[in-house]
Amino acid sequence: MALLQISEPGQSPDPHQRRIAVGIDLGTTHSLVASVRNGVAECLPDTSGRVLLPSVVRYTGEGSGRTIGYDALSGEAADPANTIASVKRLMGRVRADVHNVDNLPYRVVDTAGMASVDTRAGEKSPVEISAEILATLRFRAEDSFDDDLFGAVITVPAYFDDAQRQATKDAAQLAGINVLRLINEPTAAAIAYGLDQHSEGLFAVYDLGGGTFDISILRLTEGVFEVLATGGDSALGGDDYDRALAHIALTQGLGAQAPTPEALSAEDKASLYAAARRCKEALSGDAVQSATLACPLEVGDLHIEITREAFAAATSALTQRTVQAVRRALRDAELENDGIEGVVMVGGSTRMPVVRDAVAKLFGKAPLTNLNPDEVVALGAAIQANQLAGNHSGDALLLLDVIPLSLGIETMGGLVERIVPRNSTIPTARAQDFTTFKDGQTALALHVVQGERDLVADCRSLARFELRGIPPMAAGVARIRVSFTVDADGMLQVDAVETGSGVKAHIDVKPSYGLSDDQIADMLRDSYATAEQDIQARAVVEARVDAQRMVLATQSALDADGDLLSSADRAHIDALMVQLKGVEHSNDAAYIEAQTKALADATEPFAAARMNRGITQALAGKNLNAV
């Protein structure tokens, strides 16, 4: 009798079958697709042998109606209004939230709660445009293997919030790609670097791409990639260096009367930024001290020599923004600069000497640059995809990522009770018990928020739902357990259950698009700057809530057993209740607490009398043996 074969967990039941899985780096400037072939991760080239795909889509209105990649990029200067580049900055945003939106050569409008681009082919959302890029990478992978794609691991900036992650997943679905997982770009880089170099210890991953900046502090130990802290700026990248260079080139080349780049026509603006990018790339070459920025404009031909020092001075504020984010991440990880064993540089913008010099000065050591900064993210994603597809035959990776901002629930008085603190390792599940505020309360309104401040008004609203069917009980008796589950993609589910009756409510938090680019950084910055103010505000709100609860409980007791009190005692308690109601809007927490305590002290004999009555009623008509 033949023995039946059972495959290892996660492996294909057919030992000769290999699932085609890829890693995709959906970048602001360029995108790549990579896969593991013959045990080695490598980026897949197009038919011309190029691994980079410019993240550009041009709507032509002819034939297929659009071109993608290099073909689209070649028409950017002639048709900027319909050539969409850097669309990653629009993902999960509304127009008002987009940094430097008026500087873009194409027209951004709001459609159905998300920023869209007005083109000759109609209004196109960032999800649709990104799907065109992702589909092109999917076809490249399927052509390379002459087989259908099983799935992909897609990378996102570590500082992408829920809306931006969801927009990325939606784009992949639209492109016909099965998303195995979303992972943070710095983490993907660490996977590629760690496995390739067999490194262990504490590392910083400095990721400066075309439109976003991320910094992650990781611990690498025997195949375990643990993210200790993450930070960054989702509105800072190589595009901003291009704009800064364009500004100084206009000023120095055309004199004091030179227009700003924003005042140029769309065609001139596109040409100027393209020339600035070429100049920046030239200045990033070894031993190059100056480069020429040449560009014909309607206001006059621009031809100027830019030195490396002038470029460094013009972009120093941008570089310092990255340095400040690095320092915050180190503080979150409770580390000093000298505790980092190596700094991994990721993203094409890290080729700029001004960036590498700033990183070397900050950490006191030269950054690690022996891996291609353009390809390293896609390579790491490919390694993770290969494992998730069940093809990996070696030691399994353990990937421990983190969430960038705390998650919590609104409680009485507009306070935030944090359930999942920021920089918590994901996937994770956390739970906390809550209770009702009023007697007989049969429903609970749950408001899920994200942020670091103590007041709901200062945080971002993610979702609202209700738990209904709670049995009527006295205030504070019901026990409602609220559970937060964050999956490996950083997506959130919230469950609420009343533990006594078992009634449940559930919501998958799929946020609406539209969080400002600066909001996450502002949330963290505000949480530090306003910490003392938040503590005081929280104390006042908590004192008010306690006062309201005391008044309600006392009134309920008086309605039930007020006859136990003498007229003098009743009048005294009524006076204290009126007095406590009068201070509920005070901003003096100590004063509110003192008035609450006065009412509590005055009602102690009444509470004892009520207890005695309850015992007497319970024992009435019963003999000792029955008791």
Out of 97, 128, 170, 207, the active site residue is 207
* Among candidate residues 519, 393, 576, the one with its CA nearest the CA of residue 11: 393
Q: Is 123 tagged catalytic?
A: no
Q: Is 438 tagged catalytic?
A: no
Q: Report how far apart, in Å, the C-alpha atoms of 460 and of each of 144, 218, 452, 472, 523 are.
A: 43, 27, 10, 32, 9
Is the separation of the CB atoms in 311 and 252 below 8 Å? no
Compute the distance between CA of residue 42 and CA of residue 23 in angstroms, rounded to an integer.
10
Is the separation of the CB atoms in 180 and 388 below 8 Å? yes
User: Could you count the other beta carbons within 10 Å of the beta carbon of residue 594?
Assistant: 12
Q: Is 149 left (phi over 0), alpha (psi -120 to 50) or beta?
A: beta
Out of 185, 242, 375, 542, the active site residue is 185
Q: Which residue has the tokens 């800072």?
A: 236
**Token pair of 236 as six digits:** 């800072």
Q: Is 25 tagged catalytic?
A: yes
DSSP, res 564? G
Q: Is 207 tagged catalytic?
A: yes
Q: Report how far apart, in Å, the C-alpha atoms of 217 and of each of 25, 355, 465 are.
A: 20, 18, 35
Beta strands in 91-223 (DSSP E): 107-111, 114-119, 122-124, 151-156, 179-184, 201-208, 213-221
* Among candidate residues 142, 134, 117, 141, the one with its CA nearest the CA of residue 174: 134
Out of 88, 169, 269, 280, the active site residue is 88
User: How far, in whole angstroms, is CA 593 from its chain's centroid?
Assistant: 39
Compute the distance between CA of residue 503 and CA of residue 293 in angstroms, rounded to an integer.
68
User: How far, in whole angstroms, is CA 188 from its chain's centroid?
Assistant: 16
* Among candidate residues 465, 436, 420, 455, the one with its CA nearest the CA of residue 556: 436
Is the separation of the CB atoms in 549 and 437 below 8 Å? yes
* Among candidate residues 92, 173, 180, the one with its CA nearest the CA of residue 134: 173
Q: What residue type is 173 in one-letter code? A: Q
Is the separation of the CB atoms in 108 and 97 below 8 Å? no
Compute the distance between CA of residue 410 and CA of residue 461 in angstroms, rounded to an integer.
10
Q: Which residues are catalytic?
A: 25, 88, 185, 207
